[in-house]
Amino acid sequence: MAWGRTAEAKAPRSALSKLLPLVILSVVLAGFAFVGYHLYLTFQKISSTTSEKMQKKNVVFTKDGMKVGVKELKTENYVDTTQSFLVKAWNLSEWPAYKSRLGWNKTAAPEPAATSRKPFSRHSSSTK
């Protein structure tokens, strides 16, 4: 050219150097997708496990909110439980001022202390 130096011709870029940034980007995106997928699986497993445990305790999560159920308790089990508590309370209670006419709740009289026996003496029997 007339005004200055001639421009040096640069070597054309190879196909590999043109595709290298695309390959790096796809590897990075694949890594993020892999981690994201495994996080999703983990959260789903935690959610289902928690839901099952809460259902065992009669708590159910729905789209409307949370529903709490009442555990069914059969009448026989209720009566048995109540009776066992009453019997335990009766057995553990003491009424010091109560004197039963039937002989209940009597405190045992302390046994007299054993006295030592005097040994047999021939001398005392022979003096008669």
47 in a structural domain: yes
**With a cut of 50, which residues of the chain have pLDDT below it?**
none
Where in the sequence is the domain holding 42, given as residue range(s)?
Answer: 16-57
Q: How many domains does the chain have?
A: 1
Q: What pLDDT does 116 receive?
A: 66
21 in a structural domain: yes
Q: What pLDDT does 8 receive?
A: 75
Q: What pLDDT does 114 receive?
A: 64
CA distances from 61 to 3, 45, 56 (A): 80, 16, 12
DSSP 26-50: HHHHHHHHHHHHHHHHHHHHHHHHH
35 in a structural domain: yes
Amino acid identity of residue 58, one-letter, is: N
The whole model's pTM is what?
A: 0.41
Q: What pLDDT does 45 receive?
A: 97
